Structure 1
Amino acid sequence: MKALQGVEGHVEWREHAEQACDVGQVRIRVAAAGVNRADLLQRAGLYPPPPGVTDILGLECAGVISEVGAGAPWNVGDRVCTLLAGGAMAEQVVVDARHVLPVPSGLSLQQAAGMVEVYATAWLNLFQLAGLRPGEKVLLHAGASGVGSAAIQLCKAFGNPVWVSVGSAERLAYCEGLGAQGGVVRGEGLGGLADFGPFDVILDPVGGKYAELNLKCIASDGRWVLIGLMGGKDAAIDLAQVLAKRVHLMGSTLRSRDEVFKAELLAELAQQVWPLFSEGRLDPRIAATFPITEAEEAFNELAGNQVSGKVVLIVDESLG
């Protein structure tokens, strides 16, 4: 089979050995795969896969099951999407059957390819780790990103007013169209966020210089969940404010979680979130699609920080 790998700062679509489909696993013929910032970092040699995980790029994909291992509760021909620690950007992939979800009715495989990672990330960090309760106020940095797009919609669906920081007026309008109450444009100053606070939960993929702002904007007993370091790893934190406000600061990653954790997360996603797609209350936001042969262009599109929603690579257009 062919698969996409990061090679010295670029990507190559090249031959790769197939994996056997074992007990409790399924083989998926891949239609499309989502592109995430982890893929950009891995391409650059800055984020190697966890031990024992393939070096093929890609954390999520959608397609059609072509083989079912013993004990796996799926059938050949099922349309599915899946979360992986690596390997999604390939003609086929073998995965733990517990990490597979059905494609919601009415959605294409290309739409489903960009769903699992962002909705799993948003659900894990907002509702599981931060324990978001109805009516609590949320601040999302990078609100127009794939995770931000998913988080805004989930907040709206579960009764949480949400504000964002974004890179342009167009992206702010995009977020408001998804259900955000408002927000600020990064280049016009972030201080205005304090006017919308205090926030009970802050979802932060930026870190770095945003730390001081977060402490200023967060409510007493607020939960600040750090999921990325787009703004750098170094920050000066006023610990007196952390103490006085009883702030809960949590670091969170999903890729390195074990198989049981991911299985339980996806089972909850299937119950709590997936029905909302069929009801029309959630909408996967695909900003752009590229054929797998133009993967370098797709990666550069995401790296340009102008994307609202997800970038998806089309691996097999014939699957729909």
Structure 2
Amino acid sequence: MTPATMTCIEIARPGGPEVLTPATRPVPRPGRGEVLIKVAAAGINRPDLLQRQGVYPPPPDASDLPGLEVAGTVVALGEGVAAPTLGAEICALVAGGGYAEYVAVDARLCLPLPRGYDFVRAAALPETLFTVWHNVVERGRLAAGESLLVHGGAGGIGTTAIQLAVARGARVFATAGGPDKAKVCAGLGAHAIDYRAEDFVAVIKEATGGRGVDVILDMVGGPYVARNIKALAVEGRLVSIAFLQGSAVELNLMPVMLKRLTLTGSTLRPQATDRKAAMAAALAAEVWPLIDQGRIAPLVHATFPLVEAEAAHRLMEANTHVGKIVLTV
């Protein structure tokens, strides 16, 4: 039996962390092909901050509540659902609504808890793994023996990208702010570059004998775009997933032509559910075994109770964390 109402976190109006407000809403009902999850933990991601600020609205068919990944227990099944079963402990990618005691999600976007994982660690997996898989492997086409540069290497996306690329046989470089964060990246197997003290273009040029890297995963944008192009090898791929320093840039496209580069990027949330379901199937086949083997593991920096989402957002905005921040429900 599920209750009629639940506690959730609403965005009262666009603004700072203080606009995150505990509220009471009806418990959602799972539609055809969906399951209802009793949420035990929910990951926090930078798109949540953008939604709170009013610059990243949810898709028309998604919940207006923030939260893109959860872990918990399946407590109800919609019509036509055979798996996961009632009582299954899972983590899932959601298009919104994660900051709540219950959330409904397409059953195909649910993945089992990895071996030995609790709900907090599992909630730190979906958004980052879907994002990294789609952008580094599918769009960036990173192959074993190639090289990858990850910007923001100490964040949730960055630490995941480093581990996945290393596990798949790539050479990895990562930028991070300060020696402590650089040490974390190095511990995960990357050639760490402290961007506050080093020029990543020069470091990569020297480390690769002038060749450059094959793929760059960039969430900085702005002036980094031109520098990324300099750091790419012939036939290199630049994949943009965020623009912390702005999306409007002026570029000399001649190096793109001369080196036959590919400039691409994506946002995950608006993509069709069928497309995300295909990513989930690929993760189950290719990445979950690596997690079970301990070759990929989330770094959880801090947890906060659901009603303290404001404090969790303030921590993320301070940019002092390493890895993921998770809400407990």
Give the structure-1-normalised TM-score: 0.96
2:3 aligned partner: none
**Secondary structure of the structure 1 residue equivalent to 2:10:** strand
Corresponding residue for residue 19 of structure 1: 28
Q: Quick check: 1:292 aligned with 2:297? A: no
- Select which of 62, 76, 79 maps to 1:67: 76
- Report the equivalent of 2:279: 265
Query: Which residue is equivalent to 1:38?
Result: 47
- Corresponding residue of 2:152: 142
Tell me the equivalent position of 1:203. 217
Q: Is the 8 A contact 2:71 2:90 kept in 1?
A: yes
Match in the other structure for 1:215: 229
Q: Distance in 2 between matches of 1:233 and 1:281?
A: 34
Matched, 1:116 2:121: no
Q: Which runs of 5+ in 1 are unaligned?
A: 316-320
| Equivalent-residue separation in structure 2 for 1:50 and 1:195 (angstroms) | 44
- Code of the aligned partner of 1:46: V
Which residue is equivalent to 1:275? 289
Task: Give the Cα separation in 2 of the matches to 1:3 and 1:192.
Answer: 48
1:171 matches 2:171: no
Deviation at 1:195, TM superposition (A): 2.6
Give the whole-Å Cα distance in 2 for the aligned partners of 1:69 and 1:139: 42
2:97 paired with 1:90: no
Question: What is the alpha-carbon distance in structure 2 between the residues aligned to residue 219 and residue 186 of structure 1?
Answer: 24
Q: Tell me by how many angstroms 1:17 deviates.
A: 2.4
Displacement over 6 Å in runs of 4+: none
**Contiguous gaps of at least 5 residues in structure 2:** 1-5
Please tell me the root mean square deviation across aligned C-alpha atoms, in Å: 1.2
Q: Does 1:238 align with 2:237?
A: no
SS in 2 for 1:144: coil
- SS of the equivalent of 1:16 reads strand
Contact 1:111 1:286 in 2 (8 A): yes
SS of structure 2 residue aligned to 1:85: coil
The count of aligned residue pairs is 315
Q: Is the 8 A contact 1:165 1:186 kept in 2?
A: no
Structure 2 CA distance, aligned partners of 1:272 and 1:191? 32
